[in-house]
Structure 1
């Protein structure tokens, strides 16, 4: 991990306990507080962190990131080593789940378990023919909206709440989370706020080469968590991950969409702690 990169992190639980590292998707706040707290109560040192160009991590140029998906995977491995000299449980959500897959493949000696939440086995862009793509009607509604004034905290929070409602998530929870994300961002510059709220920086990354064909190489216990009502990465993506990773367990949250709801904290934490 480069000394020039600073990562925003938050700790839960006993720092001497086994490490459970949560990669943001893209900010750490995509991991709900109740889930982090439940995992800590289960005897883990839980650390959630912001990816580059998000939250309190180093912000350089979200419009033209000078790093790749492989660099983000190396970040996860280096951060895990820095926090604990024992192999860690790595979890990723959304695009953070893509980071986690590559990290576990490229740095297998660093990780002892893997949790993948609401993600898919291919990079942003055209999807493989056997995987369900984003729901077209939902994406049309989501991306036809005018951008908010990114310097206006209230407008940004309203935009996030409206988007959550389109996706089938809790708009009130999304509004509160957006306010927290806004307050933690490095600035109100549009590119910075879009990187934080929409993860737009991720679509600009070099995410090659493909890794899906390498998933059978994974030898760590793996949990795949997916919302049945997810319209962004439909549940067939999670089902594919569970099929292609040897021995992986699939937990489908019947009432969840894209975001992890607070009400799922006990069920998800129990499954993660069982790895």
Structure 2
């Protein structure tokens, strides 16, 4: 994309500037708020300089007419580097969740000198043959199909569907707090001005340039994956860890496709330990 086409990407930082930088990349249709502020502050309290941002078509970043996104996964990987540049950071630790984990893999492959370590949460191997991996659960597939009947310009329909969606992907080990999730989704909806443009994320195309390259990844990899993830079953996390030499896999027992507060202690400790074990200067 040309300079005139570059989007505005809104970001937010937590923690001391001199600490190792950790860039957080969220998944499809999800603004930076899906990295909860309390989660980010805990990471910052552990000695990290944490940056979260709104992907294109989410939150307060640039949005495009729904139905034909003029960008690819490669462009979104470029956005991540642009965020680092805007904060004056040369090398960072990168963590991505779901689609954000795939973008993070692409960032690590395309820009190895910028990524000190990589953490992929609830994600799947990028650019590899995944035909042998299990598909989303039948229950989630049935729920997801209902999204085609949602009027994404109708606030009530969208919020009701999104609450059902968070229930469908929730942990089997912890209770689901519907009231808390509804309040959060309403907050995100208002801040984002709706989720209609965010549906573009389901139409994105990648590139063949990096297909089959995961085994070339230089960034030390930590994979965090729930054993009850209905979108990317645990085999996806196992496959991703298996493709990268020396990768570590943390199984979150009963974990769904989410950052459940009751799992934060385990997840946060793993991320912090991974960063400390692979510490770069995180500066430009």
Q: Distance in 2 between matches of 1:142 and 1:84?
A: 40
| Secondary structure in structure 2 of the residue aligned to 1:143 | helix
Residue 15 of structure 1 and its aligned partner are, at CA, apart by 2.4
Residue 16 of structure 1 and its aligned partner are, at CA, apart by 2.7
Residue 194 of structure 1 and its aligned partner are, at CA, apart by 3.6
Q: Please, what is the CA RMSD of the aligned residues? A: 2.2
Q: Distance in 1 between matches of 2:180 and 2:251?
A: 21
Q: Residue 168 of structure 1 corresponds to which residue in structure 2?
A: 170
In structure 2, list runs of 5 or more residues that go unmatched. Answer: 275-284
Q: Residue 74 of structure 1 corresponds to which residue in structure 2?
A: 78
Is residue 267 from structure 1 mapped to residue 266 from structure 2 by the alignment? Answer: yes
The TM-score with structure 2 as length reference comes to 0.85
Residue 148 of structure 1 and its aligned partner are, at CA, apart by 5.0
Q: How do 1:168-187 and structure 2 match up within 5 A?
A: 168-169=170-171, 170=176, 171-185=178-192, 187=193
| Secondary structure in structure 1 of the residue aligned to 2:12 | strand
In structure 1, list runs of 5 or more residues that go unmatched. Answer: none
Q: Residue 279 of structure 2 corresponds to which residue in structure 1?
A: none
Q: Distance in 1 between matches of 2:211 and 2:7?
A: 28
Task: Decide which moves more: 103-112 or 85-94.
Answer: 85-94
Task: Decide which moves more: 159-168 or 140-149.
Answer: 140-149
Q: How do 1:79-98 and structure 2 match up within 5 A?
A: 79-98=83-102
| Secondary structure in structure 2 of the residue aligned to 1:98 | helix
State the Cα deviation string for residues 216-251 of structure 1 (Å, max 9, x = none): 111222111111111011111011111111111111
The TM-score with structure 1 as length reference comes to 0.87
Is residue 219 from structure 1 mapped to residue 226 from structure 2 by the alignment? Answer: no
Does the 8 Å CA contact 1:142/1:166 hold for their aligned counterparts?
no
Q: Distance in 1 between matches of 2:239 and 2:209?
A: 15
Does the 8 Å CA contact 2:126/2:214 hold for their aligned counterparts?
no
Is residue 206 from structure 1 mapped to residue 187 from structure 2 by the alignment? Answer: no
Residue 120 of structure 1 and its aligned partner are, at CA, apart by 0.6
Residue 75 of structure 1 and its aligned partner are, at CA, apart by 1.2
Pair 173,241 (structure 1): closer, same or farther in 2 beyond 3 Å: farther
Q: Residue 63 of structure 1 corresponds to which residue in structure 2?
A: 67
Q: Distance in 2 between matches of 1:194 and 1:230?
A: 25
Q: Distance in 1 between matches of 2:219 and 2:109?
A: 10
How many residue pairs get matched?
264
Residue 262 of structure 1 and its aligned partner are, at CA, apart by 1.4
| Secondary structure in structure 2 of the residue aligned to 1:138 | helix
Residue 62 of structure 1 and its aligned partner are, at CA, apart by 3.3
Does the 8 Å CA contact 2:11/2:83 hold for their aligned counterparts?
no
